[in-house]
Amino acid sequence: MATQLNEALDASETDVDVDDETGMNTANDVILVEEELMLVSATTDDNTMTVTRGHSGTTAATHADNTLVRLAVGNANSDDDFVGWGDAANVTTPGAQIRFWSHDNFGEDIIINPRDGGLFYWDKTNGLGNRAVELSATSTYSGETSVPTIAKQVLVSDQDRHVIVFGCDGLGATSSATQGNGVQDPLLIRFASQENPVDFFPTATNTAGDLRLGGGSTFVQAVETKQQILVFTNKTLHAMKFIGPPFTFGLQELSKNITIMSPFSAIAVEDAVFWMGVDTFYVYSGGQTIQLPCTVKDKIFLDFNFAERDKVHVGLNSEFGEILWFYPSSAGTEIDKYVAYNYIEKVWYYGTLARQAWLDRGIRNLPQATGNQYLYNHEVGFDDDGSAMTSFIESASIDIGDGDKFVSLKQVIPDITFNGSTSVNPDVSFTMKSRNNPGANFNQTTQNTTQRSATSPVEQFTQKLDYRLRGRSFALRIDSTSLGTKYKLGTPRVDVREDGRR
């Protein structure tokens, strides 16, 4: 039950003027104005209540005219916004969450949902100059019933053409109500009748219905695969499958006690789904949820701004078998870094790149991404829009035997190919480093250059590199800062010999 202030209210006033006090004017009722609770003691005039300010430890504050007033605890009226003794008010208060959007194609049209906002329909036949309209008010379809007015995500099931809405409000009061009841349930899933995106009230003659997630406290993300829709809460993973009449969809819990970083951190690759958790990475494939072994996990999560975790998003670069998570590091509040998993070679790597959205190649030949208010084509050549890129491959320390003996390193056969480079003489630096003990600084470093010298009849490049290093362990690094250079590392061979214990 709600109304509005009829005039501005300062922090000391005890007479509260509202548009309509009906249902919230009984002595000992508690009303909520923004974040302040007020205890009603009496009604002094029509739509004017005498209250005690700053009730239950809240702080008396100033409130502007037309501010929302809700019944928090009602004595004569049970239609209040507290769901149990001591529980927080079940209301939406202003927050700092950024604006997220989900959308999906319904034929050539688009259904759109700003997270925790309404549903909108854009009809292609109206042209690009026309805006989307509320789904419940679209003229494209008729028979609107209980259309959700608030939701966290919208998705169209490609297999059976149902519009599915996640974390939404419930059914309207009657079967003829155009809209839902307006009270958001963060675990509720509702779906419209097949081929009709505005008919949400279940009847014997349609396929509309609803489901409720049984684990976690809020819906986070839904991802469609070839066979099913995976639905994430903040604690559990469920599979939503089309099963046909009379229930239309079924829901099965797949995993408990998982985590997920943000509403855009999971992605489907064929029938597998990969996602970033709050301290690890997961994959669901073949009916199992497993944690992905990650060789750079500490590098990522020890340099992570968890206060901005909702900004994390994931993209697919299918040409190279890469899944990329973009995230804000601890040094800032916006996305500035990425971590990539190559699911073909099963290797991890990371870098610095600010991208706020990513779209894999599909209708267009190249993946596209946004950053700093620009739209970029990616995977165009091997340079950064005309400037050389700094790239490297670096190994961890490699022990010789059990690490109890010193060895000397004299030669390396690099095994690097430059096939595909646009530079006439592409080159990379090949660095070998040695150290005596784990945790110690590398005490010797030698750098050589590997360069392609010819390409016909076969590719020719530097055959061997000479070094003079001694230590208990070694690491190698290959890096390039040259224009037009594409390189691929094979299996380097290293000439090492025992050289005593000291």
Partners of 392 in beta bridges: 479
136: left (phi over 0), alpha (psi -120 to 50) or beta: alpha
Q: Residue 214: count other Cβ atoms within 10 Å of its Cβ.
A: 11
Q: What integer pLDDT is reported at residue 236 of this predicted model?
A: 98
DSSP state of 420: T
DSSP 34-95: TTEEEEEEEEEETTEEEEESSGGG-----B-TT-EEEEEE-SS----SB-STTPPB------
Q: What integer pLDDT is reported at residue 459 of this predicted model?
A: 60
> pLDDT tens digit string along 244-269?
999 999 999 999 989 999 999 999 99
Q: What integer pLDDT is reported at residue 94 of this predicted model?
A: 44
Q: Which stretches of the chain drop beneath a pLDDT of 70?
A: 74-96, 403, 444, 452-459, 502
Q: What integer pLDDT is reported at residue 328 of this predicted model?
A: 97
Distance CA 167, CA 154 (A): 9
Q: Can you list the domains of the chain with their CATH numbers?
A: 2-73 (2.40.10), 98-258 (no CATH), 282-375 (no CATH), 391-498 (2.60.120)
**What are the angstrom distances between the C-alpha of 469 and each of 406, 433, 436, 445?**
10, 8, 11, 8
> pLDDT tens digit string along 82-128?
544 444 444 444 445 788 999 999 999 999 999 999 999 999 999 98
In sequence order, which residues have a C-beta less than 8 Å from that of residue 261 and are 6 or more positions away?
275, 276, 277, 278, 309, 312, 327
**What are the angstrom distances between the C-alpha of 13 and each of 17, 23, 28, 60, 63?**
10, 22, 18, 9, 11
